[in-house]
Amino acid sequence: MADNNHSHFQHSYFVLTGIPGLEQQYYWMAFPLGAIYVIALFGNGIIISTIKSESSLHIPMYYFLCMLAFADMGLTLCTLPSMLSIFWFDYKFIAFDACLVQMYFIHTFSVIESGVLVAMAIDRVVAIWNPLRYSTILTNRVVCKTGMAILSRAVCVVFPVPFLIKRLPFYRSNILSHSFCLHQDVMRLACASTRVNSLYGLIAVIFTKGSDSLSILLSYVFIFRTVMALASREGQRKAFNTCVSHICAVLIFYVPLIGVSVIHRFGKHLSPLTHALMANAYLVVPPVLNPIVYTVKTKEIRKKIIQIFVQTKITAEG
């Protein structure tokens, strides 16, 4: 009878968790965390503005990089409010519906980023396999359709997730394990069967990140075979060099993702601190490191950053 009375009950809010065991250092940790968010927003903003203003970068490779920067900015803006509210103001509460909205956008931007990485891998395949037809195969129309397909897939796949959570009753604990709302974290607090949620989540992951990682792997197998067939050592070196930035972006995205998945599945015995650090790395690290990687490898982006610093210095001195 008690369970029946609670069958439609939901908490009005959830309690977020920062980094367990380090609560006394939250105020001081807020400054490097704020700096990390500034770097992520500034770096990705520079990439987008540089690609927009530099006509020499109006090619598919950099259009896809622009999409990656948008996805990274989206992830950053999704997690920024809740994390800074915890570390700066010690405010750990998030309304139930706000939690569902944050969850939706975090997972959506994550799926978008995964899809963009696949598109970038295909871009490298075309560039190395058939460089003479690169511009005729990957036209602006094809790039636009690819971007729309990536966005549509992410929106449609993640769309049912908040509604699957909304139907569940929550009347026991309302304390989440992370500084933001993730589907599996909210789902574990439900007081009813979550079989449908778990099954849909598994199908969604296989359909998106599972198939994406396999596509990227197969793309690089093809790239490796194509490059090894080149007669010139210098040609091989140049071909591999065009893939370095993308390989770094793939590792930056998938290594923390795999780490979080393994810990959630097999790391029940690990400390809450380990779970929190891995989840934070999964969402915070890619938006920060991707701009750094592409800035190092792209001369036009480096020039743009130097111009901004010079202009800032002149303004400050004036």
- CA dist 158 and 107 (Å) reads 7
**CA distance readout (Å), 87 to 32, 201, 221, 300:** 11, 30, 44, 36
Helix (H, G, I), strand (E, B) or coil at 14: strand
Count of alpha carbons within 13 angstroms of residue 281, beta-carbon side: 18
Token match 């610093």: residue? 309
Cα dihedral sign, 125-60-283-201: negative
pLDDT at residue 61 in the model: 92
Total residue count of the chain as it appears in this document: 318
Average pLDDT along the chain, 318 residues, taken 10 residues at a time: 52 85 78 89 92 88 95 93 86 92 96 97 94 92 96 96 92 87 89 90 93 96 91 85 92 89 73 81 91 86 78 73
Q: Which among 257, 236, 255 has a CA at the least distance from the CA of 247?
A: 255
- The 10 Å Cβ neighbour count of residue 37 is 19
Helix (H, G, I), strand (E, B) or coil at 11: coil
pLDDT at residue 30 in the model: 81
pTM of the model: 0.91
Q: Which among 39, 116, 118, 104 has a CA at the least distance from the CA of 70?
A: 116
Torsion of CA 196, 202, 206, 207, to 10 degrees: 30
Question: Taking a C-beta distance cutoff of 8 angstroms, is the pair 67, 117 a contact?
Answer: no
Q: Where are the beta strands (DSSP E) in the chain?
A: 13-15, 93-95
- CA dist 223 and 128 (Å) reads 7
- CA dist 208 and 111 (Å) reads 7
Helix (H, G, I), strand (E, B) or coil at 178: coil
Which residues fall within 8 angstroms of residue 8, CB to CB, at 6 or more apart? 169
Which parts of 138-271 fold into alpha helices (H)?
140-158, 160-166, 183-187, 195-205, 211-228, 233-241, 244-266
- CA dist 246 and 295 (Å) reads 12
pLDDT at residue 8 in the model: 58
pLDDT at residue 1 in the model: 41
